[in-house]
């Protein structure tokens, strides 16, 4: 499923990365501890976090994430947006809690993959 479909379905606000909305989202990862995200997330994940500082862009770039979703109405710091544009990382936001957006995203991706889809 591409990022554009997820943005539309979940009504996400796109802060930057409009030109990368055709990026394929393979799965998702939720976490605010950068070392955990670096150790356990995978390429193609859509990362859900409350962090807004520019280090999230470095992690997303290193792990080749599909993008980042900021929760609870968080907005990226100016230097974070500048770094995201430089690294070409889509950054989106939602007013929903992490719990709510993760549940919706999980159901959306699993429905797209179909019944009996293998967990990755």
Provide the CATH number for the domain around residue 75. Answer: 3.40.1390.20
Does 120 map to a domain?
no
Does 33 map to a domain?
yes
**Contact (Cβ atoms closer than 8 angstroms) between residue 67 and residue 60:** yes
The whole-number pLDDT of residue 69 equals 98
Cβ burial of 108 (10 Å; 0-12, 13-18, 19+) is: middle
The model's pTM: 0.92
Cβ burial of 50 (10 Å; 0-12, 13-18, 19+) is: middle
Tell me the residue range of the domain where 27 lies: 3-112
Question: How does pLDDT run along the chain (120 residues), one tens digit per residue?
Answer: 999 999 999 999 999 999 999 999 999 999 999 999 999 999 999 999 999 999 999 999 999 999 999 999 999 999 999 999 999 999 999 999 999 999 999 999 888 776 655 554
- Report the domain count for the chain: 1
Q: Backbone phi, then psi, for 55, in 5-degree steps?
A: -65, -25
Does 42 map to a domain?
yes
Does 118 map to a domain?
no
Does 31 map to a domain?
yes
Does 117 map to a domain?
no
Does 9 map to a domain?
yes
Which tokens hold the place of 15? 């802060």
The whole-number pLDDT of residue 114 equals 67
Nearest to 120 by CA among 26, 51, 21, 46: 26
Does 119 map to a domain?
no
């Amino acid at each position: 499923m591409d990022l554009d479909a997820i943005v539309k379905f979940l009504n996400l606000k796109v802060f930057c990365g409009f030109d990368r909305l055709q990026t394929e989202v393979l799965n998702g990862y939720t976490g605010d501890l950068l070392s955990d995200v670096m150790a356990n997330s995978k390429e193609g994940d859509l990362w859900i976090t409350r962090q807004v500082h520019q280090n999230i862009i470095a992690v997303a770039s290193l792990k080749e994430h599909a993008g980042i979703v900021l929760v609870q109405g968080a907005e990226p710091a100016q230097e974070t947006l500048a770094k995201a544009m430089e690294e070409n990382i889509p950054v989106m936001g939602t007013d929903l809690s992490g719990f709510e957006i993760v549940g919706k995203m999980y159901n959306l991706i699993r429905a797209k993959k179909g019944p009996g889809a293998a967990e990755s």
